[in-house]
Structure 1
Amino acid sequence: MFIDDFIEGIRSYPKAWFFISQHRLWHFVLWTGLFSIILWLSGIYAAWWLADALNNYLFLWFGENLWQGGLLKQIGIVLLLIPIITLMLKFYKYFVLSLFSPLLSIIAEKVQEIDTQQKSPTGIRVFWNNFMRSLYMNLRSLVAELFLTAACFVIAFIPIINIFTPLLLLTVDSYFWGAAMLDYRHEFHGLNGKDSMAWTKKHKGLAIANGIVWNFLLLIPIIGALVGIVLSVTAAGLAANTLQKKAS
């Protein structure tokens, strides 16, 4: 089950690309992509600035002799960048989920309407309820993810086991991103928060796969931030529909 769900989650990204092209949804990519790039570049700049500032503080604290030739200072920046960028990516993710929540809901609804030939209820009240639901789910996920991330950093101090820390961090981060993308689809089909989480836990392989591909897309400068979000929410919806059809 897990492997099948995971494979479907990976395969859904090429499907999402062709789906967006076929139904001319690239205007959604443009709007989300531009704002995403601004957030992504701002986060990278902030991470570098913070790492440099902390490193300069250590430079002054321990003395100039320790940083002979500036080599250790550069090494210090790199070592500080790793945890800082990790945290930056997490907060970037939840900034995206919070700021783009209304737009992601619209995109998910459009995908579901095309793929399932169903119509969702509309109106200001429905829109507001969906927006508040998304904020609540995202906040809940953020607290849970930060707790699990802290646990992973604790594991990093345990010999032998600590070699799995990067994989654990990637898995945790990917699961919660995928869960958020799936929740927009579940929202369309009327699942409440509890049922949405239960469905995602049952198909955790899909959630993890969706988040892993999104994380790797972010490694592609500019392009990943431009297309990643819309591809991710589209892929999640299409994959979940496929699994639902197989189960019925």
Structure 2
Amino acid sequence: MLKEIIIAIQSYYRAHHFIREHRLWRWIIIPGVLYMLLFITGLYFFVGSSNDAVNYLSNLIGIDRWLQEQKNPFLNFLFVMGNIMVRLLLVFFYFSFFKYFFLIVGSPVFAYLSEKTESILEGRDFPFSFRQLLKDILRGIRLSLRNMLWQTVYTVSILILSFIPVVGWVSPMLSLFTECYYYGFSMVDYSCERRKLSPAESIRFITDHKGLAIGNGLLFYLMHAVPVLGWILAPTYAVVAATLSVRQIENK
């Protein structure tokens, strides 16, 4: 799996040169700007509402008042760490639902960009079919809803784990890898669909090569550390990188 994660990460570097060489910028910038605007808007409302939710829950339970009565530095430290873990998990939870919303809205562009990448690699055009495009969109929506359901189950389990002192400190890392896997899953599935794999066959393929999904999703999230530019490039670079990484695995 580690080897596949490295392949997926290296594919972002290859994707950058591929996009430059074949002048795919219009398919990168336009959906990227839309993603950035939606991301900033959603993040603005999320930060305020999540802080209010955490503070309300803390006051409702009476944790702050109880800690003041105990006057125990170690307990204060544990609850401060727990508070941080919960807030980090809420950030990942926001990313999760925002991600699926954008995957559904942007599925026509992502499907086309993945197809365009492969057509350049193979030196041939895939015939356009509105009916096939509609099937691709519906397939993407079904898989997104399926993944959202399973990821919600995992996220709730991890959120419960985060309330356990010390043990819960690993919960953000678990949540991060879950996020990476399910985002990368969606990117890799565009290549699986073009190979006429059924949803069940696609799930099996990605499960067998989960390193590709994790590595792709990991770089996608790391690109968000670069404000504006990273937010614009992250989603579409992920599509091209996933297409290149699947092809590399097939060639091997």
TM-score range, shorter chain: 0.7 to 0.9
Deviations 1:148-175 (A, max 9, x none): 1112222324455433212211111100
Q: Distance in 1 between matches of 2:168 and 2:59?
A: 31
Deviations 1:221-246 (A, max 9, x none): 11121000111010000011001000
Deviations 1:100-149 (A, max 9, x none): 00110010100111113344342211111111111001110110111111
Q: Distance in 2 between matches of 1:10 and 1:62?
A: 44
**Is residue 233 of structure 1 aligned with residue 245 of structure 2?**
no
Give the aligned residue type for 2:132: V
Q: Distance in 2 between matches of 1:52 and 1:201?
A: 36
**Does structure 1 retain, via aligned residues, the 8 Å contact 2:15–2:241?**
yes
Aligned to 2:147: 141
Task: Please list, as runs of the form range in 1=range in 2, the aligned pairs for 1:87-106 lying within 5 A after superposition.
Answer: 87-106=93-112
Q: Structure 1 59/187 Cα, relative in aligned 2: closer, same or farther at 3 Å?
A: closer
> What secondary structure sits across from 2:197 in the alignment?
coil
Deviations 1:193-215 (A, max 9, x none): 11111111111011101001101
**Does structure 2 retain, via aligned residues, the 8 Å contact 1:48–1:81?**
no
**Does structure 2 retain, via aligned residues, the 8 Å contact 1:210–1:232?**
yes
TM-score (norm 1): 0.86
**Does structure 2 retain, via aligned residues, the 8 Å contact 1:33–1:227?**
yes
Aligned to 2:16: 17
Which stretch has the larger CA shift, 143-152 or 19-28? Answer: 143-152
Aligned to 1:167: 173
How much does 1:84 deviate? 3.3
**Does structure 1 retain, via aligned residues, the 8 Å contact 2:85–2:169?**
no
**Does structure 1 retain, via aligned residues, the 8 Å contact 2:188–2:243?**
yes
Residue segments in structure 1 that go unaligned for 5+ positions in a row = 67-74
Aligned to 2:4: 5
**Does structure 1 retain, via aligned residues, the 8 Å contact 2:115–2:126?**
yes
Deviations 1:54-81 (A, max 9, x none): 4675798799x97xxxxxxxx9x97875
**Does structure 2 retain, via aligned residues, the 8 Å contact 1:178–1:211?**
yes
Aligned to 1:214: 220
Q: Distance in 2 between matches of 1:15 and 1:59?
A: 47
Aligned to 2:26: 27
Q: Report the aligned-residue RMSD.
A: 2.6
> What secondary structure sits across from 2:212 in the alignment?
helix
How much does 1:219 deviate? 2.3
Task: Please list, as runs of the form range in 1=range in 2, the aligned pairs for 1:162-201 lying within 5 A after superposition.
Answer: 162-201=168-207
Q: Distance in 2 between matches of 1:114 and 1:224?
A: 25
**Is residue 110 of structure 1 aligned with residue 106 of structure 2?**
no
Aligned length: 238
**Is residue 86 of structure 1 aligned with residue 92 of structure 2?**
yes
Which stretch has the larger CA shift, 226-235 or 161-170? Answer: 161-170
Task: Please list, as runs of the form range in 1=range in 2, the aligned pairs for 1:59-70 lying within 5 A after superposition.
Answer: none
Identity of aligned residues (%): 27
Residue segments in structure 2 that go unaligned for 5+ positions in a row = 66-79
Aligned to 2:126: 120
Q: Structure 1 3/52 Cα, relative in aligned 2: closer, same or farther at 3 Å?
A: closer
Q: Distance in 1 between matches of 2:240 and 2:108?
A: 15
**Does structure 2 retain, via aligned residues, the 8 Å contact 1:176–1:211?**
yes
Give the aligned residue type for 2:103: L
Give the aligned residue type for 2:106: F
